[in-house]
Amino acid sequence: MRVAILMNPRSGRNKAERLADELARLLRARGHGVTLRDVHGPDEPMSGTLSGCERVVVVGGDGTVHHLLRPLCDAQVPVYHLATGTANLIAKYFRFSRNPATIVGDLEREHEPVCLDVPTANGTPFLIMLSLGMDASVIHRFEASRTTSGGYRAYFGPTLRELLSPRPARLSIEHGTHQGTMMGRPGGLMVANMPSYALGINPCADADPSDGLIDARMYRAGTAIGCGFRFALMRLRLGAGSTLRTPSIRIRTIDRACAVQIDGENPTGVVGLTDGFLHPGGELVVGFDGGKIPLHGVGRG
């Protein structure tokens, strides 16, 4: 069996590199061919690395998977995620192991791949979810002041700054024949392909990544405290906003620029956004272009 290991050495404060090396060693000891590649290495086409492989293991966080979605969709090689990030939403939902010895056994077993839909936002693929509002603003602030500290503790400062100086916006959405505004009040919007969000909040708990639909939850919150209250209700599985399920959605901001996050990152390279912000006059169109990614040896939720 030929396996490609795509490793992000910046993930997990060197943990990713150590685990990738250990996995490669164990696979080679079992007689498998292994190509180990640093995703930040030479700018060579990923297609050459994935060509002829029967399995691909992504070693890194959810963001690493996010940035590899296009070549992974093109290659159609079953993917296993060895998670070394903070939230690790993909690995938790699909019950991927973080133990190299266990992963070798999983890779050697034959499984029918589970194919996931890969939606796009203005043409940029994502797998988990995107959001607009104050939670996205916290991610922007975090990335602007990123330090060597890791884990959820690193979000304390950005969250405090958002509480002291929130940036709420009024949003407009359109899906199918329906058009709506957030009832004229500032708020936020979450668009999910998977029923996963950090800290177990899961605002779209019924989202199915293989049903060809995206789930969206809208909530009203004009202050950071109000936003936190809404998130607390979601964490407790109590009603906090309205939901819809649709194959596509068109999003606009009415009165001011609104922060956007995609798969837990500031989407600075997305067409139609400026430094990860959606501005009045612009729009964010979320839908499907037929992209799918096969996963190997997964469980569910």
Is the confidence at residue 237, as pLDDT, over 60? Answer: yes
Closest of 75, 115, 109, 77 to residue 94, by C-alpha: 115
Q: pTM for this structure?
A: 0.88
Domains of the chain with bracketed CATH: 2-110 (3.40.50.10330), 124-290 (2.60.200.40)
DSSP H helices, the chain, are 15-29, 46-50, 62-75, 89-94, 100-108, 134-144, 156-164, 224-235
204-216 as b/e: b if 16+ CB within 10 A: bbebbbeeebbbb
pLDDT band at 85 (very low <50, low <70, confident <90, very high): very high
pLDDT single digits (tens) 14-23: 899 999 999 9
Give the residue, 206 or 74, on which the prediction is more confident: 74
Q: Within the chain, how many helices (H) and strands (E) appear? A: 8, 16
